[in-house]
Structure 1
Amino acid sequence: MKIALFSDIHANLPALEAFFKDVETRDTDAIYCLGDLVGYNIWPNEVIDEVRKRRIPTITGNYDFGIGRSSDDCGCAYKTDEEKEMGKVSIAYTNEVVKEEQRAYLRTLPAHIRLEFQLNDDKFNILLVHGSPRKVNEYLFEDRDEKSLMRIMEQADADVLCFGHTHKPYHRILNSGIDGNDHFRHAINIGSVGKPKDQDPRGGYVLLTLNENSSIQHKDSIKVDFIRFEYDVEKAARAIESSPLPNAYADMLRNG
């Protein structure tokens, strides 16, 4: 079973189109979107429509949640006054251009998707969220304290926790077993299709591969491939510069 997971498109249609071209070459069995379809660029409606017409199961991101409810709060953790002011422009612009049909779609997206496999004698749970199982806009960065991350996964009954939101991909393997009985858990940040923040401007997503021998007792029994793909960054950046959105968002795309 090969599962493609993507997230954080943020209204970047050129990146989404390039993602679809790339993933179609990967012979996947399933595809899921972990949210944040909108915000920071000019194509929120088109991005929503492309995901919908492919009938891709999609969960809500924090930006989707806000826009779906016509809120002026995207649940974003802006650190500076400048970032906050730019964020106000972005959510106001997105609220202005999103059409009612697309807004209604965002409003009805589920908070998470759980996939339960029965492999060998193990129950194997994969939980798909946007930020964390606890909150749509909670950031799970790679340096998260191991005990904290473990507790989050245990409380959510997640053997594999897949999420986005930080736009920085990583894979951590934790062992929650006791008395020599291994129970490996995988925390996987799938990165961002349309607004990466790891100094690599290429879009990114994850291919998660399970087989008939995948088990919570073996740390290497699932395969996680981080895929990067080229797209027309300049087209996306120039679209921002030709819109009311702050030009800084264009530079962020160019610099990753």
Structure 2
Amino acid sequence: MKLRKRSFEQIEVDTHKMTEKEALKLIPRKLYKYYPINEFTFKVLTEQAIYFSKPSGFSDPFDCKLNINFGKSTIQINENLNHYFPQLVPLLDKTDIFNGSFKTTKEINQFLNTLVLSILDMQMGVTCFSEVRDSPLMWAHYAHSHSGICLEFDMKTPSFFRDNLIPVMYFDKYPVYSMEEYKSNGLGNLLTRMMASKSEDWDYEFEWRCTTEKGGAKTYSFDKALVTGIIFGINCPEDQKTKILEILQDLNYCNCIPYQADMNSSKFKIDIVRY
């Protein structure tokens, strides 16, 4: 596992073992969300609602690829499923996994991991935030070549977003989690951890994810008071800036401060200044 360089410097984060108070202390005061300029971005501002994707909607096919160890023997697997994951038992009645359908416990574990991934896709929704607002790569990838915007959200005020955040951890190979480690919180906590495991190739994003068990492929509302800033990209057109500023004023985004992203004059970096 690759250690994070910002909020989690020299800390090996294992949030399921933390108290709520300890976990909240790790959440950055501000988190950021990049957008291109299009009709969906305008809807975010006008309807105060953010889209939550299903895991299958992620652009990275390696995302959420985590291995759960359900047990080292068929007896242990069966006991763990019945004790900690009774939700899965009715789904397994027709598979006959303990009576010869699979030759090894490895095959059983592989089958159960596939099943859990399917459940994850049906019941979980996720949206992504970043700790950084000045990443040239993120402006290029998520804000249409620096022509979009980046919204700044307050994450210290209690909200649906803050209360459902989990930090993304980055790995060079698929992480393996023993079911025994998560037995106190069961399937929900394991699914949440699966939602926040990515390849270390993405570690520059310093990502946090807000997750919900109410489903993905739909939007969830937020309080516009949580939006404390908007950053216009280097290439954001002036007419779009004017349109967005009018929306913010008309809808009384009273906490939102406008900023401009500028090219630094001597380094390959972005400066953020008041607009």
Q: Output the TM-score relative to the length of structure 2.
A: 0.24
Q: Output the TM-score relative to the length of structure 1.
A: 0.26
Answer 1 or 2: which has greater helix percent: 2
